[in-house]
Amino acid sequence: MRSSLSRRASHRASRRLRAAATVGLLGATLLGAGASPASAAPDHARHTRYYLALGDSLAAGYQTLPGGGSEVGHGYAQDLARTLQARAAAAHRGFSFTDLGCPGETTGSMLGGGCPYPHPFPGSQLDAAVAFLKAHHKDDLLVTLDIGANNVDGCAAGGSLDAACAVKGIATAGKDLSTILDRLRAAAGPHTRIVGMNLYDPFLAAWMTGPQGKVLAGLSVPLADSLNATLGLVDAAHGIPTADVAKAFSTNAFLPLVPVAGQQVPLNVARIMSWTNMSRGDIHANDTGYQVIADAFLAKI
């Protein structure tokens, strides 16, 4: 009897010890998981974040200077890169920025090469971009793209709007952008995010030149809307968000009237005059306008 009781007591003690060991092991496991969250994070979360800017003169950060001459490397991509670098630093991550934007680039030259401004790639910008994406296929990579403005820039020259030129330019921009995004998406890795952009309307500045200019400014908005609708539709078809620069610049807002240079002008005209260099005939954004564009991208990232 005593031997039987002893055996039962020993068996119960053994079960209690095994249960305690199991609880202790589980507790240590949970404590370890709580104490080291970084160890459970995917590898790419601890690595450098890359930013690749693609496009035309806006991506390149082109501006004319008040005293004459021009500069590149001072635009929305640089503004965006500063913000992304600060975010990466706060997360104790590295950051790398590459800008392939080329002033004068059209959708056609982006595909086939021949950008008229000195550029850092030997062939086409798209070929260079695809090579970059493949080289960083496993990395955390943001790509921004603006293209298409130079397809229609010449359609509102000389104080009049060439509708046939505009229709052709918009159609070409849409077709080529689809090819560009096809190739970018095919080369993109699992942690690559591509964001497109629509465009402000610099020809609204014609409003400041008198009655004929007001007509041209009014006609330019449907042109901008058509181009932007095309860019947005192509982006959406490829699953690409579009930074709404047109909205940020109030492109369709002919009211309210606000004071500029001693006269009351529509809000959309005022923003073009304040956020671009059109006061000296340069369609490119100024520092304020480039920051507005960067903020429009940030809203989609």
Percent of the chain with pLDDT over 70: 85
Mean pLDDT across 78-102: 97
Residue 46: the pLDDT is 57
Question: What pLDDT band is residue 25 in, cutting at 50, 70 and 90?
Answer: very low
More confident site: 223 or 29: 223
Angle between helices 163-187 and 125-135 (to 10 degrees): 20
Q: 251: part of which helix (H) or strand (E)?
A: none
Contact 75, 99 (CB under 8 A): no
Residue 270: the pLDDT is 98
Highest mean pLDDT among 8-12, 13-17, 87-91, 153-157: 87-91
Residue 23: the pLDDT is 34
Determine how many CB atoms are found less than 10 A away from the CB of residue 204: 29
For residue 212, what are the contacts with CB-CB under 8 A and spacing of at least 6? 159
Amino acid of residue 263:
Q
List strand residue ranges (DSSP E) for 135-254, in order: 140-146, 192-197, 242-243
Nearest to 270 by CA among 253, 290, 294: 253
Residue 228: the pLDDT is 98
Residue 21: the pLDDT is 37
Q: How far apart are CA 112 and CA 123, in angstroms?
A: 8
Residue 157: the pLDDT is 73
Q: How far apart are CA 205 and CA 281, in angstroms?
A: 9
For residue 231, what are the contacts with CB-CB under 8 A and spacing of at least 6? 148, 173, 174, 177, 196, 197, 198, 199, 242
Q: At 276, give phi and psi (nearest 5°).
A: -130, 180
Query: Looking at domain 48-298, what is its CATH homologous superfamily?
Result: SGNH hydrolase (3.40.50.1110)
Residue 1: the pLDDT is 38
Determine how many CB atoms are found less than 10 A away from the CB of residue 197: 28
Q: What totals of helices (H) and strands (E) does the chain contain, helices first?
A: 12, 11
Residue 111: the pLDDT is 98
Amino acid of residue 270:
A
Q: At 225, give phi and psi (nearest 5°).
A: -60, -40
Give strand pairing partners of 193. Answer: 142
Q: Computed from CA positions of residues 85, 142, 64, 229, in that sequence, does the dihedral angle turn out positive or negative?
A: negative
3-state secondary structure of 196: strand
Q: What radius of gyration, in Å, describes the C-alpha atoms of the chain?
A: 28
Residue 16: the pLDDT is 42
Question: Tens digit of pLDDT for each residue in 160-181?
Answer: 889 999 999 999 999 999 999 9
- Exposed / middle / buried, residue 128 (Cβ in 10 Å: 0-12, 13-18, 19+): buried
Question: Tens digit of pLDDT for each residue in 235-294?
Answer: 999 999 999 999 999 999 999 999 998 999 999 999 999 999 999 999 999 999 999 999
What b/e sequence results for 11-21 when a residue is b if at least 16 CB atoms lie within 10 Å of its CB, and e otherwise? Answer: eeeeeeeeeee
Question: Tens digit of pLDDT for each residue in 130-162?
Answer: 999 999 999 999 999 999 999 999 898 777 889
Residue 15: the pLDDT is 42
Residues recorded for the chain = 301
- pLDDT at residue 45 is higher than 80: no
Span of 2-6, 102-106, 177-181, 270-274 with lowest mean pLDDT:
2-6
On average, the pLDDT of the chain sits at 87
